[in-house]
Every structure is written in structure tokens, then in C-alpha cells.
């Protein structure tokens, strides 16, 4: 998307010719062909080649096993998912279910290893992985409904080692690296107001208070279709213009699994005084210090998943 000066910072298409390291065998990242069914479907890949200055992120839909033939499913299972590796940067790794009666239901089962400890996860979650921490294997053990996945980190490209040096993680309780809920007693800055529960459901929130030592902020929520309640006196809809001392990603994804690039609605995002109207699933990269917003969701036809993230200890 490049119709405006900052349109180049809003990405709606999957990067071409993505090369993965050897610790991620068997993955196919090219867009699916018409009629092709896959368990793993990449929507967006972000790095400094896609948007100069951007940090790394990838956003993926995982579709239920029953949508694959037995031969295709066996091939996916044989690949085994990412194998044990490390990164020179910290990583945020997440999975979210699509049971809209209970958004915290993962709608499946995921096996994830941190260091040499196995975790079996059945709730929507965010995992914070410090730089140098060995993580994976990661295996999708069961999918009942579509699951959305994003991962990101402050490296300008995706890199790591299959056999990194052993890091000193003494005293770190690995189970505490997971977040399963919104931050309690969350206080939003003046440029944002609380979102009514009829409009959205907050799922997870990460900062240095949620996980001590974290140097990354991230939050994720679902926006619902339907009638919007009238704003409270003094509250303007959406998010007001502001800046951050760190770069930020702002992302929205639709839930039309016949077309994973369909936003299922329309989002208005202003960057440095320029209006951008987007109707495709997207990730926007906003450099540090650049004013952005208002941000308004102008239309929602089906549930829309949203996350924001940036390399800051706190959202400010």
C-alpha cells in the first residue's frame, strides 16, 4: 500500500521469496494456490527489507486438521514445526483461538518447549522469550477451530542458531514467561479510552510489570461486529494522535478464511497527518517519534483480531 507518503509503512501483502533457517524445516510460506488447503497460512511477514527500519514479525492463520487430506496432514506433522533454536533478540510468540463465546479458549493444543521444559497449552497465550533462551520444538497437536498466530522481535531480520551457546537462565521460572490474560488494573494514557465490552474483548497484555525483565510491550484483542454504543461524554471514538519513544506495530486481521487478506471491515489510520483507509488485513510500522492516529474502525462485518507491539518496557 503506497498511495500516500506513509502508505509504504502499511503492509497488506506477503513478502516474496522468504528464506527460513534450517531449524524451521517443512514450512511453506508462499500464498496458497486456488483450491489448495493448508494448515499453516502466512498473511504478513515484516522485516527491514519489507519496510526500512522495521523490526521482525510474522502473522499466520492455522486452519483445522479436518480441512486437510490425511496425506497433507501427515506431511505437516512430519515436518514437526520449528526445532530448538535461539535468537540474538528477545521474541514474543503468541497463539489465539477463535471461539468467540470464549476468546481465551485456544481451540486446540500446542506443545512448546522453553529451554528443556515442555509446556502443553490449551488457552490463548503470549510467551515472552528473552534473547538467547533456547525454545521449541513447537508442535500443533490439535486444531478444533482456526487459530491466529503472530511472533515478533526487535531484530531487523529473522535470524537465529539451531545450537546456540547455553545461556544462564538460573532463577528464571519458565512458566512465568507466559501471559494468558489482560493486565489487571490496566491504566491507559489520556490519548486512549476504555473500549466497551460490546465492542471488543482484550485477551493478553505484556510489559515489564506483567513479566519482570521484559523489554517489549504488546497487547491483543478482538473487535466484534454489531451496533456500537454511543461514546461517553468527552470521549471521542478511536485513538487520539500521539507519539512513542519506540517504534510500534499496529495490526488488524479479518476472519474470512476463504480470503485471509480480507479485513472484513475498514480501518482508518492516520500517520503524520495523512489519512489511510485500509480494507485488507495489515501490519503498519510506525517509526519512533512519528505522530500517528486518529485510529478508527469504520466498519466491522466479522470479528477482527488486533494487536500492537513495540520494543518498550512500558506503553507510553
Model confidence pLDDT, tens digit, residues 130-164:
999 999 999 999 999 999 999 999 999 999 998 65
Strand partners, 242: 292
CATH numbers and ranges of domains, the chain: 7-310 (2.60.120.10)
pLDDT tens-digit series, residues 37-72:
788 999 999 999 999 999 999 999 999 966 666 666
Cα-based distances in Å from 316 to 27, 37, 128, 142, 246: 37, 42, 20, 38, 9
Q: Does residue 9 come out as left (phi exceeding 0), alpha (psi in the -120 to 50 range) or beta?
A: alpha
Q: Report whether 109 contacts 121 (CB < 8 A).
A: yes
> What digits encode the pLDDT tens for the residues 169-185?
667 899 999 999 999 99
Pair 14, 44: CB distance under 8 Å: yes
Across the chain, mean pLDDT equals 90
Query: 182: burial class by Cβ within 10 Å (0-12, 13-18, 19+)?
Result: middle
Contact (Cβ atoms closer than 8 angstroms) between residue 237 and residue 229: no
Q: What are phi and psi of 169, to 5 degrees?
A: -105, 20
pLDDT in tens, 66-97: 666 666 666 555 556 899 999 999 999 999 99
pTM reported for the whole predicted model:
0.92
Alpha carbon distance 109, 124 (integer Å): 10
Core vs surface per residue 112-139: b (16+ CB within 10 A) or e: bbbeeeeeebebbbbbbbbbbbbbbebb
pLDDT the model gives residue 37: 78
Amino acid at each position: 500500500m503506497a498511495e500516500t507518503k506513509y502508505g509504504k509503512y502499511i503492509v497488506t501483502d506477503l513478502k516474496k521469496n522468504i528464506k527460513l533457517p534450517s531449524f524451521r524445516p517443512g514450512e511453506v510460506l508462499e500464498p496458497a494456490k486456488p483450491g489448495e488447503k493448508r494448515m499453516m497460512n502466512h498473511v504478513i511477514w515484516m522485516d527491514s527489507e519489507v519496510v526500512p527500519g522495521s523490526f521482525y514479525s510474522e502473522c499466520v492463520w492455522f486452519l483445522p486438521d479436518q480441512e486437510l487430506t490425511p496425506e497433507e496432514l501427515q506431511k505437516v506433522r512430519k515436518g514437526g514445526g520449528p526445532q530448538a533454536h535461539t535468537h540474538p533478540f528477545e521474541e514474543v510468540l503468541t497463539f489465539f483461538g477463535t471461539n468467540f463465546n470464549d476468546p481465551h479458549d485456544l481451540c486446540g493444543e500446542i506443545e512448546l518447549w522453553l529451554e528443556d521444559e515442555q509446556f502443553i497449552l490449551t488457552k490463548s497465550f503470549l510467551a515472552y522469550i528473552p534473547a538467547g533462551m533456547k525454545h521449541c520444538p513447537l508442535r500443533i497437536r490439535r486444531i478444533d477451530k482456526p487459530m491466529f498466530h503472530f511472533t515478533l522481535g526487535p531484530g531487523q531480520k529473522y535470524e537465529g542458531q539451531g545450537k546456540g551457546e547455553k545461556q544462564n537462565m538460573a532463577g528464571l521460572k519458565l512458566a512465568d514467561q507466559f501471559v494468558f490474560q489482560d493486565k489487571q488494573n490496566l491504566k491507559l494514557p489520556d490519548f486512549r479510552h476504555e473500549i466497551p465490552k460490546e465492542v471488543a474483548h482484550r485477551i493478553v497484555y505484556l510489559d515489564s510489570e506483567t513479566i519482570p525483565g521484559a523489554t517489549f510491550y504488546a497487547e491483543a484483542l478482538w473487535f466484534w461486529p454489531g451496533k456500537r454504543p454511543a461514546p461517553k461524554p468527552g470521549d471521542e471514538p478511536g485513538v487520539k494522535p500521539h507519539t512513542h519513544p519506540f517504534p510500534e506495530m499496529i495490526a488488524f486481521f479479518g476472519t474470512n478464511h476463504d480470503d485471509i487478506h480480507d479485513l472484513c471491515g475498514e480501518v482508518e489510520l492516520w500517520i503524520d497527518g495523512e489519512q489511510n483507509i485500509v480494507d485488507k488485513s495489515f501490519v503498519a510500522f510506525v517509526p519512533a517519534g512519528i505522530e500517528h492516529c486518529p485510529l478508527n474502525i469504520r466498519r466491522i462485518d466479522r470479528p477482527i483480531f488486533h494487536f500492537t507491539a513495540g520494543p518498550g518496557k512500558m506503553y507510553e
